[in-house]
Structure 1
Amino acid sequence: MINCLIIDDEQAAIDVIKFHSKSIPFLNVIAESLGPVEALEIIYTQKIDLIFIDIHMPELSGLDFIKLTKGRSKFILTTAYKQYALDGYEHNVIDYLLKPISFERFLQAVQKAQDILFPVAIPVENTTVNAMKTKDFIFIKTDNRMQKVFFSEILFVEALGNYVTFNTTKGRFVSLLNMKDLEDDESLPHDNFLRVHRSFIISLDKIEYVEGGYIYLDKDTPIPLGDTYKSQLWTALDSRTILSKKSY
């Protein structure tokens, strides 16, 4: 989990970052400040991993604030002025966000922050991967821990940019992967997990019914069925059904 501080002299700008942060499971906004002087006390009394800071503020500029912190935290600059981008990178900031900040651009910036603050440094030998494939579980790297999940607990996997969400009977786990990573690595056994949409992989065991272009894992969880994946689904279900594929 990345502990964050937001510093901006405009509350509306703070609110935008807080709103975006709510959709990122590994971000924890623990404080906000309308002034850099007040914020100095916060970073010396609390553990702050990442600071979102505006460049133009009346008391102290964002760049001067960075100098005063002496490397205690990492920074993402936020500003309405393009011309300060170079100054920001000279101060070794993680990224530079131009207002108004879109969620897509915000996600890119915090992905960089996660890579820098908590790099994935767990080498996995091929022999280990092969051994795991014979088991009935996988480990998912989520936040700062490795979460064990049994195949039988996985309902579906959903793409979220450079991340995927494993939706399980235990809850949701977000990991820095993409769909291609999952398919190439073959961590999920192909005899029971099938890609049915560019954004979804499902467990065949969890299907309740298929109707109207959607796969229902239960009545409240419709998963869209992409046209290019229909034939694969019918083939996978063929050996498990008493109905002809022609019915669809």
Structure 2
Amino acid sequence: MYKCIIIDDEELARTLLETYVKKLDFLELKGSFENPLDALKLLKTEHIDLIFLDIQMPDLKGTDFAKLIPAETKVIFTTAYSEYAIQGFELNALDYLLKPITFERFLKAVNKLKADVVEIPKSESITVKSGYDLHKIKLADINYIESDSEYVVFHLDNRKIMSYQTLKSLEKSLPEALFIRVHRSYIVNKQHVTGLKGRDLILDTVTIPVSDSYYDTVKSTLF
């Protein structure tokens, strides 16, 4: 469970974010503030994991407020002005949401919080045999793995690699912090999941089915 607060001088914006937060069981809303100075008082007494922070506010800009908070507290900037995006990312924000904010985009942003906690070093890799060739694949580059009869197919951003092995045997060698089985035919990289629509996982532009036997585990683990 991640503790979060909302700071925005617009009531409608706060209400929308409050609604989104309440839909997710891994977020706990500890406060919603119109004035960022009031939020500072809470930060002095309680650890907060994530702040949804508006940039353009009358008393104190969000980008200035972000410099006052503990380094370990993550920030997702929210604003109606796209020109602030670069400045937000210069402050190492977890993400940047442009208003009006859809729930799908909100979900993609907060999932980065979970991915950031269980991040696997980019250098960590596995060696995969394909025919007579050996491929060294970085775990972070694997979007998902699909079973194809007696083979598995590694789906990367711009290529596919087929290997003679079973999904079951492969599953045991993959780190649970990064990968999850969602179907008898699919293992997905948690860091590439952007949403859940019905019984389908959304991975950027790809849709992966979730079987009934894995659904509860997938929902509780990823959402």
TM above 0.5, one fold?
A: yes
1:54/1:78 contact within 8 Å kept? yes
AA in 2 matched with 1:55: I
The secondary structure found in structure 2 opposite 1:161 is: strand
The one-letter code of the counterpart of 1:64 is D
Cα distance in structure 1, aligned partners of 2:217 and 2:5: 25
Deviation at 1:70, TM superposition (A): 4.0
8 Å contact kept, 1:166–1:173? no
Q: Which has the higher contact order (CA 8 A, sep 6+)?
A: 2
Which position in structure 2 is the counterpart of 1:14?
Answer: 14
What SS does structure 1 have at the residue aligned with 2:56? coil
Q: Which amino acid is the alignment partner of residue 98 of structure 1?
A: L
Distance 1:167 1:24 in 2: 21
**Equivalent residue runs for 1:134-213 within 5 Å:** 158-162=199-203, 173-174=218-219, 175-176=221-222
Distance in 2 separating the partners of 1:42 and 1:160: 36
Alignment map for 1:18-29 (pairs within 5 Å) = 18-29=18-29
Flag structure 2 segments of 5+ consecutive residues without an equivalent: 128-164, 170-175, 178-183, 185-197
Deviations 1:55-80 (A, max 9, x none): 01121110110111141411000000
Deviations along 1:121-172, one digit per CA (max 9) or x if unpaired, are 8x9x99xxx9x959xxxxxx6xx9xxxxxx9xxxxx9324249877669x66
Aligned-residue RMSD, C-alpha = 4.1
Give the alignment of 1:229-244 within 5 angstroms: none
Q: Summarize deviations over 1:30-53 as a string: whole Å, max 9, x none.
A: 221111000011112112111000
Of all paired residues, the percent bearing the same amino acid is 39
Structure 1 counterpart SS, 2:97: strand
SS of the equivalent of 2:86 reads helix
Q: 1:119 Cα shift?
A: 2.9
Give aligned pairs, total. 168
- CA distance in 1 between counterparts of 2:52 and 2:5 reads 6
The structure-2 alpha-carbon separation of the partners of 1:96 and 1:55, relative to structure 1 and needing over 3 Å to count, comes to same
Give the whole-Å Cα distance in 1 for the aligned partners of 2:118 and 2:37.
28
Give the corresponding residue for 1:209: none
Structure whose alpha-carbon radius of gyration is higher: 1
Partner in structure 1 of residue 74 of structure 2:
74
Normalising by structure 1, we get a TM-score of 0.53
Where structure 1 has 5 or more consecutive residues not aligned to the other structure, the ranges are 135-140, 145-150, 152-156, 178-248
